[in-house]
Amino acid sequence: MGFNTFELNLFRHDLKRSNRLFIAFVGDNHDDVGIHLSDHLAELKKFTKRYKPHEVLFHLMGDYGDFCSTSERRIIDRSDLHDTTRQTLDDHAASTLKKRIKQFEFMKGRVIGVHNGNHDWFFTTGEYKNKYASEVLAESLGAKHIGYVAYSVVQLKNVIGDNCGMKMDIVSCHGKGGGKRIGAGFNTIEDMSYIFEGADIYAQGHNHQLGGIPSARLTVDLNAKTGKLVYKEKIISFIRTGSAMQGYKPGKRTYVSDALMKPCALGFPISVIEFSRKTAKDGSRHIVKSQKTLA
């Protein structure tokens, strides 16, 4: 497994002649803190039950728990802890992880990839020895662990009809901050589109911001058959993937309130991709896709 790495990820999926696909982005749950709202995964599960299983996929963005940040792990690693103390910490993290796996179990077999976050426990004892919590989650869901940054190609077959193929390209990262203003958080996502061109979706988590912004790109091709120039428009999505952690709660102390950070809308965004057949002027038929974000 690569931790904090860049990964290439190919995910093959049979759409079974459907003309739509939902991709739910889930991350920053922080499910082992008192200000975590546990009903969001239940709401997502309820949403997905409205549709056929093959019409819904999931993309996991990191920070599923809150037990030790990267800097805190460094402190622990430098500390001369007794073996029993370290085992106690591992036992606590394992107990929480097992509950998390049960909550995510409804996604099994439909997860495009699992990112690590900056809150990710590394086990040095017990049944998960020498593994990160996000790695164990990925294995439990039958998914690939895709590190910190990934370029994922979702290769679809049987789109609308038999033997019709399409693909969705997703550039994703657990995420970076980007200032207090709404636009700042999306600027860091737009930056990814200058690094990796041509993807359909660019997504980041980490700052707990929730929402999606569409953006258009134009290309010009030479039609070899007619000898004419043809321009095409492509809509891409910039997505911030939300959170299930409240920043402010009476009687609770959080790093959000300590730093006077802005509160964020809670929940997880869903990318909706629809496919349709289009007939060109020359009589040829092909499949086109459209997309939007529900948040």
CB contact set of 266 (below 8 Å; sequence gap of 6+): 37, 40, 210, 242, 243, 244, 245, 246
Per-residue model confidence (pLDDT) at position 38: 66
- The CATH number that applies at residue 168 is 3.60.21
Task: Please report whether residue 71 resides in a domain.
Answer: yes
Q: Per the domain annotation, does 111 fall within a domain?
A: yes
Number of domains forming the structure of the chain: 1
Length of the chain: 295
171, part of any domain: yes
Residue 249 resides in a domain: yes
User: What span, in angstroms and rounded, lies between the C-alpha atoms of 104 and 114?
Assistant: 12
For 253-270, give the secondary structure using H, E and C. CCHHHHCCCCCCCCECCE
Region of residue 119 (left: phi > 0; alpha: psi -120 to 50; beta: else) = beta
Tell whether 1 is covered by a domain. Answer: no
Of 96, 108, 104, 105, nearest to 133 by C-alpha is 96
Under 8 Å between Cβ of 153 and 165:
no
Per-residue pLDDT at 239? 97
Q: Report the Cα 110 to chain-centroid distance in Å.
A: 13
Q: Tell me, yes or no, whether 262 lies in a domain.
A: yes
CA 76 to chain centre: 28
Query: Per-residue pLDDT tens for 122-138?
Result: 999 999 999 999 999 99
CA distance 284 to 123: 56
Residue bearing tokens 């289009």: 278
pLDDT at residue number 36: 67
**Measuring CA to CA, how many Å separate 273 from each of 13, 23, 51, 120, 210?**
14, 8, 14, 31, 19
* pLDDT confidence of residue 178: 66
DSSP string, 178-205: --SSHHHHHHHHHHHHHHSTT-SEEEE-
List of residues 6+ apart from 197 with CB closer than 8 A: none
Range(s) of the domain holding residue 59: 6-294
d(CA 233, CA 278): 15
- The partner residues of 286 in beta bridges, in order of sequence, read 278
Which residues of the chain are under the pLDDT cut of 50?
none
**The predicted structure's pLDDT at residue 260:** 81
Instruction: Provide the 8-state DSSP code for 37.
Output: -
- Is 217 within the bounds of a domain? yes
